[in-house]
């Protein structure tokens, strides 16, 4: 069980620049946080908890959007779980459904909880998870790094392991595994 | 602990029922952990508690299992700070053992867990990759903080329990002593009651004996009068005249016919002897009458004594007796006394079945009632009347009522007239009615008194069961 808790998912290699093909909206002149979640991943509740803290600590310093994956063959209700509602309840967070995981594909996201931070210029400054283990809330290097970056402080951490369920089936998993450095 | 186990399973099913890969899922490992690991952590101590209750080992195993359950629950809830309160709740739960060593075991497990993880895997417990090597002390310190409070509470609780136990032991000791004293006093009371009953029985017998002696005394008085009369009559005999005649005859014995024919004294002698004979016959008759009276009175005495002896054979013998005969005998014992005190006795004897009872006890009661009635009539003027009434009441009980028109009883005395030692007689002892009431109770009956007040007479009613 301990091993399971600390086994990270695939972080992947997200694009260094904000992808032009993305349907995700980016507010001009503001850093943008993009998070991908599996709507039924139990571990991701802790991730949302950490996001809530980030929103509270760095209010107005960045735009935040959460994408809930909706695999092929599943309807929208499948995606709108209590985790969805928890996300919509966080002030300032834009919540979207990622139909068939297309957006996740653009950002190379394979694991629920993957959090990407792009600066105002659209440059990737952080990618990874914001929990320390699967489903475990509490202080963690990912959240600390994002907070530091948003507060214009330097951070030597630019990536962290991501803990959560796989966002999509084997195809995307394989693609993203292959993408890993 | 079983409840905790079920709660852990419920938490796992609610928080993390499944793990997902896209649209496919499987049961989350937390569910299996909650079922299997939680089952082991709860099952073993529960088994120990059932198979080895009260043993120190059981307590310590429960302590270890309880804090490990806390760790499991914390893990299942994603390390929520709130779930850490389970540790403190568990310590309070373990404090119910009132054994500081159990708390010490739990504390060592918690501190040991934090120490080991601090050294080898700090992020699993403190959420950071590198923690101070003394941070486990901070966490264990909070547990110790609660321990100190609980130790003080346990110490206080044990002191109070000890005091309560001591008080209870003292109280139980007092109860035992009181019970012992009650048993002792009851035995003394029973002994005293038995002695009192015996005294009352003897007093009753004395009462009968007193009546007998009183009546014998009355008859002896008549005997004395008769003897005195006879003596005075004997003194009236003219034995001197007879002697003179004899001497005259002796002096003239040589020629007695000539003396009787020629001597003037001789000629008067036959008439003189005739007159003397007539004179002697009168006291002789009186003496004979007195002797007859004397004989009659002596027979009366013999009869009274014989009757007393018949009734004094001892108590406890149950016989079938005629109520009328019993009443008549009771009256007869007192007859001389009644005659002397000019008491008229009326009898109203109804036909009642034979009575199966202790003859002596009933006799004792009746003699006492008749004697009391006679005393009550002593001070009355005019017609001194006593009625002895025998009847059967509506309940089928025999009733013997002794009714007099004597001095009566004041209302305040009615309630205590049967009390031991209570008497209104100058020379009374207060035994008679008391022993009579006790005897009536022994026979399954009652003895009751009624009076309309002073000067209005009294009625004493002895009620007895006819089928004793």
In the predicted structure, residue A30 carries a pLDDT above the cut 60: yes
**Closest to A38 (Cβ–Cβ): which among B20, B75, B79?**
B20
Taking each helix axis as running N to C, give the angle between helix B432-442 and helix B359-378, from 0 to 180 degrees, rounded to the nearest 10. Answer: 150
Task: Give CA angle at A38 (A35, A41), nearest 5°.
Answer: 120
In the predicted structure, residue B303 carries a pLDDT above the cut 80: no
Number of alpha carbons in the 13 Å side-chain half-sphere of residue B403 = 12
**Closest to B127 (Cβ–Cβ): which among A43, A139, A167?**
A139
CA distance A137 to chain B (A): 6
Q: What percent of chain B has pLDDT over 70?
A: 92
Q: What percent of chain A has pLDDT over 70?
A: 91
pLDDT value at position B128?
58
**Closest to B23 (Cβ–Cβ): which among A74, A133, A136?**
A74
Mean pLDDT of B157-168: 92
In this prediction, residue A34 has a pLDDT band, given cuts at 50, 70 and 90, of: very high
Q: Give the count of beta carbons closer than 10 Å to the beta carbon of residue A4.
A: 14
Q: Which of A42, A41, A72, A43 is CA-nearest to residue A169? A: A72
Kindly report, residue by residue over B329-353, the tens digit of the pLDDT: 888 878 878 888 889 999 999 999 9
CATH number of B315-464: 3.30.565.10
Domain residue limits, chain B: 2-133, 205-310, 315-464
Q: Which residue has the higher pLDDT, B163 or B439?
A: B163
Mean pLDDT of A40-66: 91
pLDDT value at position B427?
61
What element of type H or E holds A61?
none
In this prediction, residue B24 has a pLDDT band, given cuts at 50, 70 and 90, of: confident
Give the number of domains in chain A: 1
Picking from A8, A9, A39, A42 by the largest number of B CB atoms within 10 A of its own CB, the best residue to mutate is A42
**Residue-wise burial string across B65-74, b where 16 or more C-beta atoms lie within 10 A, e elsewhere:** bbbbbbbbbb
Are A41 and B19 within 8 A, CB to CB? yes
In the predicted structure, residue B364 carries a pLDDT above the cut 90: no
| Lowest model confidence (mean pLDDT) among A135-149, B90-104, B299-313, B377-391 | B299-313
- Domain hosting A134: range is 2-179
B124 part of contact set with chain A, CB < 8 Å: yes
| Residues of chain A with a CB closer than 8 angstroms to some CB in chain B | 1-2, 4-6, 38, 40-43, 45-46, 69, 71-74, 101, 112, 132-133, 135-141, 165-170, 172-173
> Taking CA atoms, what residue in A is nearest to B17?
A42
Q: Which of A128, A115, A111, A96 is CA-nearest to residue A167? A: A111
pLDDT value at position B337?
81
Q: Which residue has the higher pLDDT, B8 or A176?
A: B8
In the predicted structure, residue B446 carries a pLDDT above the cut 70: yes
A146 CA to centre of own chain: 12
Computed over every residue of chain B, the mean pLDDT equals 85
Long-range contacts formed by B98-104: CB under 8 A, 24+ apart: B98/B154, B98/B157, B98/B158, B98/B161, B99/B59, B99/B154, B100/B151, B100/B154, B101/B56, B101/B60, B102/B59, B102/B60, B102/B62, B102/B63, B103/B63, B103/B147, B103/B150, B103/B151, B103/B154, B104/B147
Q: Which of B322, B338, B352 is CA-nearest to residue B387? A: B338
pLDDT value at position B429?
62
CATH number for A25: 3.40.30.10
**Closest to B123 (Cβ–Cβ): which among A40, A45, A132?**
A132
In the predicted structure, residue A145 carries a pLDDT above the cut 80: yes
What residue has token string 């630019």? A158
Which chain A positions have a beta carbon within 8 Å of B29's beta carbon? Answer: 1, 4
Picking from B127, B128, B131, B139 by the largest number of A CB atoms within 10 A of its own CB, the best residue to mutate is B127
The first and second tokens of residue A130, run together, are 């914001």
* ipTM of the prediction: 0.72
> Taking CA atoms, what residue in B is nearest to A82?
B15
Mean pLDDT of A71-100: 90
Beta strands in A55-155, from DSSP E residues, in sequence order:
62-70, 93-99, 114-118, 124-128
B129 part of contact set with chain A, CB < 8 Å: yes
Mean pLDDT of B52-76: 89
**Considering the entire predicted model, what is its pTM?**
0.50
């Amino acid at each position: 069980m301990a091993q399971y808790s600390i086994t990270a998912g695939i972080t992947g290699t997200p694009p260094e620049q904000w992808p032009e093909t993305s349907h995700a909206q980016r507010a001009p002149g503001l850093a943008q946080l993009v998070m991908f979640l599996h709507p039924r991943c139990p571990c991701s509740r802790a991730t949302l908890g950490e996001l809530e803290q980030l929103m509270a600590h760095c209010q107005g310093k960045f735009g935040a959007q959460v994408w809930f994956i909706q695999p092929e063959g599943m309807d929208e209700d499948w995606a709108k779980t209590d985790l969805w509602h928890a996300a919509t309840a966080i002030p300032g967070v834009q919540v979207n459904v990622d139909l068939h995981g297309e957006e996740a594909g653009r950002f190379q996201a394979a694991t629920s909880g993957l959090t990407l931070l792009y600066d105002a210029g659209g440059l990737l400054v952080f990618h990874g998870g914001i929990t320390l283990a699967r489903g475990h809330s509490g202080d963690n290097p990912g959240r600390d790094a994002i907070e530091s970056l948003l507060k214009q402080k330097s951070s030597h951490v630019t990536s962290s392991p991501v803990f959560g369920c796989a966002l999509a089936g084997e195809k995307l998993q394989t693609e993203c595994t292959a993408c890993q450095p | 602990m079983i409840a905790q186990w079920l709660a852990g399973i419920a938490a796992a099913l609610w928080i993390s029922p499944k793990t997902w890969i896209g649209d496919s899922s499987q049961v989350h490992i937390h569910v299996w952990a909650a079922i299997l690991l939680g089952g082991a952590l709860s099952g073993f101590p529960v088994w120990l508690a059932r198979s080895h209750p009260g043993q120190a080992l059981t307590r310590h195993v429960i302590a270890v299992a309880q804090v490990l359950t806390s760790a499991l629950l914390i893990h299942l809830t994603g390390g929520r700070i709130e779930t850490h309160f389970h540790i403190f709740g568990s310590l309070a739960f373990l404090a119910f053992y009132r054994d500081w060593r159990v708390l010490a075991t739990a504390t060592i497990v918690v501190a040991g867990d934090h120490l080991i993880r601090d050294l080898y895997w700090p992020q699993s417990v403190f959420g950071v990759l590198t923690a101070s090597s003394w941070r486990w002390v901070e966490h264990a310190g909070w547990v110790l903080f609660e321990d100190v409070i609980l130790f003080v509470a346990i110490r206080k609780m044990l002191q109070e329990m000890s005091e309560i136990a001591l008080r209870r032991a003292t109280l139980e000791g007092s109860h035992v002593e009181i019970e012992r004293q009650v048993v002792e006093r009851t035995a003394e009371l029973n002994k005293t009651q038995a002695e009192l009953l015996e005294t009352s029985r003897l007093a009753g017998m004395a009462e009968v004996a007193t009546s007998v002696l009183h009546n014998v005394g009355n008859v002896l008085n008549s005997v004395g009068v008769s003897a005195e009369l006879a003596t005075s009559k004997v003194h009236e005999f003219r034995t001197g005249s007879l002697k003179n005649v004899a001497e005259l005859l002796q002096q003239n014995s040589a020629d007695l016919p000539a003396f009787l024919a020629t001597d003037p004294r001789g000629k008067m002698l036959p008439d003189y002897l005739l007159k003397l004979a007539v004179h002697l016959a009168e006291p002789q008759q009186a003496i004979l009458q007195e002797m007859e009276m004397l004989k009659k009175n002596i027979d009366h005495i013999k009869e009274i004594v014989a009757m007393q002896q018949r009734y004094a054979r001892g108590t406890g013998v149950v016989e079938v007796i005629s109520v009328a005969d019993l009443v008549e005998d009771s009256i007869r014992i007192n007859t001389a006394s009644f005659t002397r005190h000019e008491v008229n006795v009326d009898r109203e004897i109804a036909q009642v079945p034979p009575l199966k009872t202790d003859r002596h006890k009933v006799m004792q009661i009746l003699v006492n009632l008749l004697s009391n009635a006679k005393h009550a009539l002593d001070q009355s003027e005019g017609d001194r009347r006593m009625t002895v009434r025998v009847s059967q009441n509506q309940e089928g009980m025999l009733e013997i009522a002794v009714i007099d028109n004597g001095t009566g009883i004041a209302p305040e005395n009615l309630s205590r007239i049967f009390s031991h030692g209570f008497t209104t007689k100058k020379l009374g002892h207060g035994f008679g009615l008391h022993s009579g009431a006790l005897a009536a109770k022994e026979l399954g009956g009652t003895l009751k008194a009624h009076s309309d007040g002073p000067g209005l007479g009294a009625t004493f009613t002895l009620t007895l069961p006819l089928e004793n």
